[in-house]
Structure 1
């Protein structure tokens, strides 16, 4: 028990040391540039961040962005999982969806956001863009997982006349678990990038993206860095919570 605690403490200590190292590099670069408009120091950014956290609009913006990302991700994961399983089992569905998946993957994110601005209200642009970008990732991973299932297991189940719903529940779903986890982890990071980019262009009233745009417009570089740190932290928290859920 003590040895496991010691190992865990060493891991945490190493991660903190790595974080301090990169903050030190940031500080050195800031001193070298010697222009806070181009590269503010870490202490200056943390000071601005502490001021922001004391304001109501900061939290309204953060929670509004979290809500949009969650809705987009949940739709993406649910649709990707259900449609991916169906496409993996029915060849025609896979062939039918293939052109759509190829087009969405090849289309630049900015093009999708601009089109969404024409079609939807600003608050819905973020959700739509997140779904359209993340859905193909989950769908493709689930499809690969279905195709990777051992065909001998399926044939054996059919020989013993196992019902289709039990084959799906006890053979297919456990086999695609790691593919789904991998896809979700990719989407958790990508979802935040896409959502914030959508918010910058669609400018919903309360959003992290709008605050990033305002900071850039007023040349408040420290505030720009502070909001960026918030996005990075939220993305990290989402991934950490998901990994904890998977472990448990």
Structure 2
């Protein structure tokens, strides 16, 4: 317990040191350039961030952007999971969807944003782009997870003549969960970035990207960097929280895979 506490303190101190190191580098570069329009000082950026925190529009923009990201990621998880399962069961469906996945991965995000601007209203563009960019990640991981299920567990289930719902619950779900959790974490970070990029170009009301665009138009570097820090902070925050929750679920489920199969098989 003592060693665990010491390691925790060392990790926190290490993170603080890394943070201060890059702040110092930032200050040094600012001192060399001496041009606020290119690179504002850390002090000015943090002071601007302090001012933004007390503004109502700041939290409205964050709430709206989070809502768009959440909706885009949610739909990508639902559609990607369903189509991923179907594709794993049917080669024709897999061959039908795979070219679309390759096309989405190969096409620049900017191209999709331009197309979306012609199809949707400005407030719906970020959600669509988030869904479009995250969908291939979910689909690919689900297909890969199903393809890499331990065949010995399936053979054991067949020998014990386990029911299909038991096989799904005790083998398929726990085996797929690591792939699914990795896909969700990746999609959350990717979705946040592409959604903000789409907001910059679509310029919807109450959006982080809209504030970034306004800061760029008015050459307000402090404001631009402050909003950029907000994007980085929330991206890391959601990834960490989501990863922590999924890690707990994954560990709990994985520990029950073999045990669950043996117990159910013994009963049968």
Q: Same fold by TM (over 0.5)?
A: yes
Question: Are the equivalent residues in 2 in contact too, given 1:126–1:195 (CA < 8 A)?
Answer: yes
Does the residue aligned with 2:123 lie in a helix, a strand or coil?
A: helix
Distance 1:206 1:83 in 2: 33
**Cα distance, 1:22 vs. partner?**
0.4
Match of 1:59 in 2: 59
Out of 199-208 and 85-94, give the one that drifted further: 85-94
Equivalent runs, 1:1-248 vs 2, <5 Å:
1-248=1-248
Gaps of 5+ in 2: 249-268
Does the residue aligned with 2:206 lie in a helix, a strand or coil?
A: coil
Post-superposition CA distance 1:183-240 (Å, at most 9, x none):
1221121111100011011111110000000000000011100000000000011011
Aligned length: 248
Distance 1:186 1:34 in 2: 37
Distance 1:28 1:201 in 2: 32
Does the residue aligned with 1:122 lie in a helix, a strand or coil?
A: coil
**Cα distance, 1:42 vs. partner?**
0.5
Distance 1:147 1:122 in 2: 39
Out of 126-135 and 144-153, give the one that drifted further: 144-153
Pair 184,104 (structure 1): closer, same or farther in 2 beyond 3 Å: same
**Cα distance, 1:5 vs. partner?**
1.4
Distance 2:113 2:247 in 1: 35
Q: CA RMSD in A?
A: 1.3
**Cα distance, 1:99 vs. partner?**
1.6
Match of 2:262 in 1: none
Does the residue aligned with 2:124 lie in a helix, a strand or coil?
A: helix
